[in-house]
Structures are given as C-alpha cells and as structure tokens.
Chain A
Amino acid sequence: MRILLIILLATCLGSLTQAKAQYYDDPKEHQCLKCHSNTSYSFHNELMDREEKRMMNPYYVLDTVAMRTGVHQVFDCTDCHSYEYSTYPHQANLKLEPLATCLDCHGGDETFASYQFERIDEEVQKSVHFDAYGESFNCSKCHDQHTYRPIARTAENVKEIVDYSNKMCLTCHANMQRYEMVAGREKPELVQVHRWLPNQQLHFENVRCIECHTDVTDSLMVSHNIRPKTQAVRNCIECHSGNSKLKASLYKYENLQKRSEGVLGNIISNDSYVIGTHQVPFLQWLSVVILICVLGGVLVHVIFRILKK
C-alpha cells in the first residue's frame, strides 16, 4: 500500500513538473497539431471510403516550436477553440463562434495589472489600424496568441526587442495578402516610402517602427496608438535632439528590467542611456561659448603671468 502511495505521489509530482508545454511536446501525436503543424494532412474519407491527403491552408499551419515557448504554452487548443474542432471535417459554423479576446482573460486581472491591458485597448482604439479595420483589428493581428513572447520584458538586449517588435509589423507590412485584407489597397513598398530616411538599414535594424509611428509616452511600456503615416515622425531632430523621442519608454523599461534580475551590480552595468541630451541646440551653443571663454581667459592669464614674471 505504501509503495502504491509513493508511486502515486511520484506520478503526480512528475506530471506537475511537466505541466509546461505538455500539450505540444509531441505534435505528431497531438489531435490538432498532427495536421496543423504540417503543410499537408491525411484523413479517411468516409463517403468515398478511402485515405486522402490534402494541402493544409498555409495560414492554419502552426509553428509548434514557437508555441512551446509562447506565453500561452500551458494551454491546449481546445481551451480557447471550441471542443467541436476535435472532429474532422470541422463544422462550418464553428468559424463564426467568437474567440476570447485578450481582455476577456487579462482585463481587470491584478496579476496582469502591470501590463495595463485596458490602457493598451484604449490606445489601440485611437490607432490607424482601428480606423481601417474596426473591431476586427484585435490584438492577435499583431500578437499571435499561439507563439507570442513578451520580448520587451524578457530580452537580453535592445536589438532583440527591436527585431521582435519590427517583425510583428512586417507580418502584414511585408505581406501583400495580409496588408490588402486590412487596408483594402495595395501595400506600399517599405523601402520606397522610407527612401527619405538617411541610413535606412541602420534605422530599420536599431529602431522600432513604433518609435516613429506611435505617440510615445513614458508611462506605457509600448505605445499602441499607431498613428496615420502623415503624423509619423519625419524630422531627424525629433529623435536626435532636444525633445528626443528615444528618451522615453525603452530606456525606463530596459532599466527596470535589468534591475528586476535582482543583483545590485545590474544597476551599474545596465546599458540604457538617454540619447540626445547634448543636442539641445541652445545648450550646445551655450556650452561651447562658455568653454571658449574659460579657455581664452586662462590663456590670457597665463600670458600675463609669463610677461609680468
């Protein structure tokens, strides 16, 4: 009896430690992923009584590797999607069922208070995406719930944040079909529309799209009010001088992130820096004038000291 209890306890503990990502560990055996992780799928056609192999709609193919590291890794497909999907062919009307939005789970939840989901929602509703696509432009258009990772909070360095953030934009802005579905018109070539931008590649690699295309604030980690292109930052000085746009969110959150790792040394070794303070034109001019006056004064004084010795 005692041995049985120990085995039972060990099994329970074992299953607890494996709770993370347990559903996707073996996609080939997973009821949904055995089809939705491949470009083709096989099934038994009962009407014709034969085995068939067909192409999977590429938009319904899931990246099972990314799913295992995504924020929702502990959930199984049918936690969010209807259980009716367990049968194939899937019923047509299942597509019409509403799926849970981010706020349905995260809204008003103290655990996620720091993410400020409600404020993000308000910001999105002011954005150009919402204007173009209304309620249908939900969070998942940018943040794929299957694979999303909060990189801005977990990344090792700023470049990783920039890369992940920009890839979210490029999912549509570098994809004709996706772009046309939302915008209802042809996608402009990003390289062409940003032709005016000096050092284009350098900017694309090191600056998030949202840095220029949103209304940046210190208080929200990532601004979600993506503005029309006419209101995007086009003036070099806005970033590279006085009222630096780069100053705000990324500096503060990188700093806090480094600190949350707990070691005092992280305060000193964090790589954040507020760019552009020296480029306030008036202060720059003033400092040069003061420096010249001081050095000039010292030089004159030295000359007199030598002459009057």
Chain B
Amino acid sequence: MATDKIYYYPLWLRIWHAINAIGIILLIITGISLQSGVESWFVVPFDKAIDIHNAAGVTVTLNYLLYFFGNMFTKNGKFYIVKPKAFLKRPIKQAYYYAWGMFHGMKAPYPLSEKRKFNPLQKYTYILTMYLAVPCVIITGFALLFPELIIEKVYNVSGIFMTAVFHSALGFFISIFLIIHLYIASIGKNPLDNFKSIVTGWHHVTGNNGSNGTK
C-alpha cells in the first residue's frame, strides 16, 4: 500500500478556508439565534447576534473575493473544471462507492492524485455551494443590508420578505453542506487525517484503497 503526500492546499487557500470556516460557523450560529426570535437567547442576545451576523457576513464576502480571484489566477481553479463526458455517471459512481462500495471492498473509483484534488461528487457539490449558493446568500444578505435595492412587491408578497426567506433557505442548505462536508472529511486514512491536511497543506494519498480526500 503506497502512501504518498501531496501539497494540496497552498497557504492562501488555507487562510481563506480558515476564515471562511470560522465566518460560516458564526453565521450559522447567529442565523439560528436570529430565527429563534427576539425573546430567545440562543447562545447570544438578539441584538448582539445581528451585529455578529452582519460583521461575519461582510468578512466572508471579502474573503470570498480571495477564493474567487485565487481560483481565477492560480492553478487551483482547474480542479473545479467539470468534464462533460459521463456528466452524471461519474458522481453517481462516487455516490455508489460511498453508500455501498466502500463497505464491500470496492476501490475508490476516482482516487486523488496531483491532477485530481476532488472526486466528481465532491467537485459538483463544491461548485454548487461556492459558485451558486454562497454568491446567492451574499447577494441576498447585502440586499437586506440595502433594502432600498429590493423590488417592492413580487405579486402580492413583499420583496424584502421574499429576499429574507431566500436568504435563510440558502443559509440552511449551506448548513446542511457543512454537516456533510465535515462528515465526509472524516473518511480518510483515519478520521482526523483530512482535518490535519487542511491545516498543514499536505494531504495523504493512498495508492490502492482509495482515500477519498476531503469533501
């Protein structure tokens, strides 16, 4: 069993990931706190929760620019390119591996290498989250900070309210992503290995049994 280490996560990426992780966790906690209502003291008082949520939101947005331009101008961006060939077959194969194959001695269908940092399912999820959900949550979040930009009425429903519902729905899906992200990250050489990787930058690639990398 050949085990090798690849330097997967450059420093800028790790800094981005750390800020994003702290920011998103704060946003989720304060977001749930706000949803619980004015009277509720879920972790932090309501007015503090608003301040933290707004500050973390702006930080994550600025940090997103680092991610966006980092991927645009460094070779890290190429890991996000989707191949049209077997567009659905590839992630389905990976899902089958997670759900069934890995318990029945199946080798990881898409072992990670220098050229492949994410397996297909992971790649699709990251693209949907980072290039669709997060931009949408940023746009709706800023719209709520500048409510005069929002359309007044969509049919008979207030535009502000629609935006707020959309914002919290996206927040919920990002929370679900986080749960799955953290769980799949525990499927590695050992449960903590992938968490160490995102701190040190070095990732274990196991030759034949198919480490699935971080997800």
Chain A interfacial positions (CB closer than 8 Å to B): 217-219, 243-244, 247-248, 251-252, 255-256, 259, 267-278, 280, 283, 287, 290-291, 294-295, 298, 301, 304-305, 308
Contacts and interface: CB of A to CB of B under 8 A. Distances in A.
Interface string B39-59: 000000011001100110010
B147 A277 contact: no
Contacts, number: 84
User: Which has the most chain A C-beta neighbours within 10 Å: B146, B152, B158?
Assistant: B158
Interface of B: 34-35, 37-38, 46-47, 50-51, 54-55, 58, 98, 103, 144-148, 152-153, 157-161, 164-165, 167-169, 172, 176, 179-180, 183, 187
Contact of A252 (B148, B172, B179): B148
A19 B55 CA distance: 43
B176 A267 contact: no
19 contacts: A243-B161, A244-B161, A247-B158, A247-B160, A247-B164, A251-B147, A255-B146, A256-B147, A259-B146, A268-B55, A268-B58, A268-B145, A270-B54, A271-B47, A277-B35, A278-B35, A295-B179, A298-B183, A305-B187
Contacts of A275: 37-38
Nearest to B156: A243
The 8 closest A-B pairs by CB, nearest first: A274-B164, A247-B161, A278-B35, A268-B54, A252-B147, A277-B164, A308-B103, A218-B152
Contacts of B98: 301
B176 A271 contact: no
Contacts of B37: 275
Given A219-B152, A274-B144, 15 more contacts: A217-B152, A218-B160, A244-B158, A244-B161, A247-B161, A252-B147, A268-B145, A269-B51, A269-B54, A270-B50, A273-B50, A274-B161, A275-B37, A278-B168, A280-B165
Contact of B103 (A268, A269, A304): A304
A248 B145 contact: no
Contact of B160 (A251, A280, A283, A287): A251
A267 B144 CA distance: 10
A308 B98 CA distance: 13
A243 B152 CA distance: 14
Given A218-B152, A244-B161, A248-B160, A255 B47 contact: no
Contact of A283 (B34, B153, B165): B165
Q: Is the interface of A mostly helix, strand, loop or mixed?
A: helix
A243 B37 CA distance: 16
Given A269-B51, A274-B160, A277-B161, A255 B147 contact: yes
A294 B58 CA distance: 29
A111 B144 CA distance: 28
A268 B53 CA distance: 8
Q: Is the interface of B mostly helix, strand, loop or mixed?
A: helix
Contacts of B145: 255, 267-268, 270
A211 to B, nearest CB: 14
Contacts of B146: 255, 259, 267
A277 B165 contact: yes
Contact of A218 (B34, B153, B180): B153
Nearest to B176: A294
A255 B141 CA distance: 13
A247 B165 CA distance: 11
Nearest to A279: B35
A290 B174 CA distance: 12
A260 to B, nearest CB: 11
Contacts of A290: 172, 176
Nearest to B57: A268
User: Which has the most chain B C-beta neighbours within 10 Å: A244, A277, A290, A294?
Assistant: A277
B186 to A, nearest CB: 9
A287 to B, nearest CB: 5
Nearest to B49: A273
A308 B158 CA distance: 53
Contacts of A278: 35, 168
Nearest to A256: B148
Nearest to B147: A252
Contacts of B38: 275
B160 A273 contact: no
A8 B91 CA distance: 87
A226 B153 CA distance: 21
A243 B157 contact: yes
Contacts of B159: 218
Given A280-B165, A287-B172, A301-B183, A273 B157 contact: no
A247 B35 CA distance: 14
A267 B34 CA distance: 17
A278 B164 CA distance: 9
A305 B190 CA distance: 12
B56 to A, nearest CB: 10
